[in-house]
Structure formats: C-alpha cells, structure tokens
Amino acid sequence: MSRPRFSTPVTILAVLAVVLAACASTGASPSAPVVTATGTATPSAEPEATPSPSQDESAAPSASDEELEDVDVRIQGSRYDPAEVIVPVGTRVVFVNVDPFDHTVTEGSGGQPTDDPIVDAQLAQNASASVTFDEPGTYEITCRLHPTMRMTITVEG
C-alpha cells in the first residue's frame, strides 16, 4: 500500500500554519492596566507619563467637573491587579476575586488589618466588594489569608 503524496506547496502551507500558531501563542503579553487620573483602568502598550509636581495641574479636571468612574481591581494569581492606583477623592474601587479560592480585601499590611479598617471583606471566587474613598491619603490593602498580597491606593483631593 502506498502513501498519498502531498505537493510541496501544501506541505509548506502546513508548516507555515504551525509556525504562525506557535508565534501567536508565545507573543508578548499585554501590559498591565494603567489607572488614569479619572480612575479608569485602560490597557496601554507604553507606560504613560506621570506629570511631575512642578507641572501646572490647574488644567486637570476636578471631581466636581465630571462624573468619577469606578476603578476595577482584579484579584488573580494571588495578587491585586493593578497593585497601585492613584484616584481622586470620591472614587469607588471595586475588587473582584477571579481566583478559585478565597481572598480578603483588608486595609492593612502583612495580612493584618489596621485599627478600624475602611474595608475588610472576604471574597469567594467571582465575589466582589467595593469601597468609596472619600478622604485623601494612602491606603495599604492586604489579604488576611495570603499576607504577601498587597496593593496601595493613593487618594488625592
């Protein structure tokens, strides 16, 4: 019994398809979301420039000039994503746990809450919790169950 013979163009196309599929699966991963001044997470291929303190900030919109948008923080791979956000006063941050196990969203560090934390919620898979930051300051967020998880929320006002 003889094997069917394939023409050279068919063989070349098959090899090319396999090579292209392999390249597509090993391509660069998208960059982490960058949180803008209005509190929206936007994917960015290039890091956005952060204005220096010496720049005139009077042109920046204030919270009273526009509706603030929620900032979403995904809990995935036992980390908060993004790990650092800067938002204006009055922004609501929504945490969503997409890991297949529980995490907490707790104001504190090293798995320990602060006295009277602004948020301390345990989240099962696909659960969410939100908190509105009405006071300027820097808030450290940790997971009571996984003390190495941490993020920082800076509220400007």
Let me know if residue 15 belongs to a domain: no
Q: Range of 85's domain?
A: 35-41+67-156
Alpha carbon 83 to chain centroid distance?
A: 7
Is 28 inside any structural domain?
no
More confident residue, 85 or 3: 85
pLDDT tens for each residue of 58-77: 444 444 445 789 999 999 99
62: in domain: no
Residue-wise pLDDT for 29-53, tens only, equals 333 333 333 333 333 233 333 333 3
In a domain, 111, yes or no: yes
What confidence score (pLDDT) does residue 77 get?
97
Is 80 exceeded by the pLDDT of residue 114?
A: yes
DSSP state string for 78-139: SSEESSEEEEETTEEEEEEE-SSS-EEEEEEETTEEPSS-S-EEEE-TT-EEEEEE-S-EEE
State residue 93's pLDDT score. Answer: 98
Q: State whether the Cα torsion 42-75-30-49 is positive or negative.
A: positive
Higher-pLDDT residue of 3 and 141 is 141
Nearest to 110 by CA among 153, 154, 152, 150: 150
Within a domain: 130: yes
Q: What is the pLDDT of residue 110?
A: 97
Q: Domain of 82: which CATH number?
A: 2.60.40.420
pLDDT, tens only, 121-144: 999 999 999 999 999 999 999 999
Count structural domains, the chain.
1
**Is the pLDDT reported for residue 25 higher than 90?**
no
Q: What is the pLDDT of residue 122?
A: 97
Task: Examine residue 12 and state whether it is found in any structural domain, yes or no.
Answer: no
Rounded to whole angstroms, how far apart are CA atoms 118 and 3?
A: 72
User: Looking at the domain assignment, is residue 21 inside a domain?
Assistant: no
Whether residue 50 is contained in a domain is answered as no
